[in-house]
Amino acid sequence: DGGITQSPKYLFRKEGQNVTLSCEQNLNHDAMYWYRQDPGQGLRLIYYSQIVNDFQKGDIAEGYSVSREKKESFPLTVTSAQKNPTAFYLCASSRQGYSNQPQHFGDGTRLSIL
């Protein structure tokens, strides 16, 4: 079955440490996205990528970095510069070039501070 796989499900970060969240999709989607969700709130866009080797900042990109070396993969690194990283992180993908295609989501990674 096609879908989006995020790993790990739970992740803990120490002070000053960078951590990387994995996102893999086998839906053959061109576009991929990273969102952050805080308790009781909606989703906020961190980064998105419409094509391999290209990505754009979203609304809250500071303290995060991404890469898009393969169509299937869009890893997110939470750097030590992100002072409040505790949140639920969701990865999504969608078809590109078609009007109003829904985004499909992974099951999320919950990041906490040790």
Please identify, among the stretches 13-21, 61-69, 72-80, 87-95, the one whose residues bind another protein according to the rule CB under 8 A. Answer: 87-95
Q: What angle do CA 112, 21, 32 make, to 5 degrees?
A: 125
For another protein, the binding residue among 40, 53, 83, 84 (CB under 8 A) is: 40
Phi, psi (deg, nearest 5) at residue 49: -140, 130
Encoded tokens for 21: 């969240």
The residue with tokens 């078809």 is: 95
Instruction: Establish if 48 lies at the interface with another protein (CB under 8 A).
Output: yes
Q: How far is the CB of 75 from another protein (least distance, A)?
A: 17
The whole-angstrom separation of Cα 88 and Cα 27 is 23
Instruction: Establish if 110 lies at the interface with another protein (CB under 8 A).
Output: yes
Residue type, position 52, single letter: V
Instruction: Establish if 101 lies at the interface with another protein (CB under 8 A).
Output: yes
Phi, psi (deg, nearest 5) at residue 112: -130, 160
Q: Which is nearer to another protein, 16 or 42 (CB)?
A: 42
Please identify, among the stretches 13-21, 32-40, 63-71, 76-84, the one whose residues bind another protein according to the rule CB under 8 A. Answer: 32-40
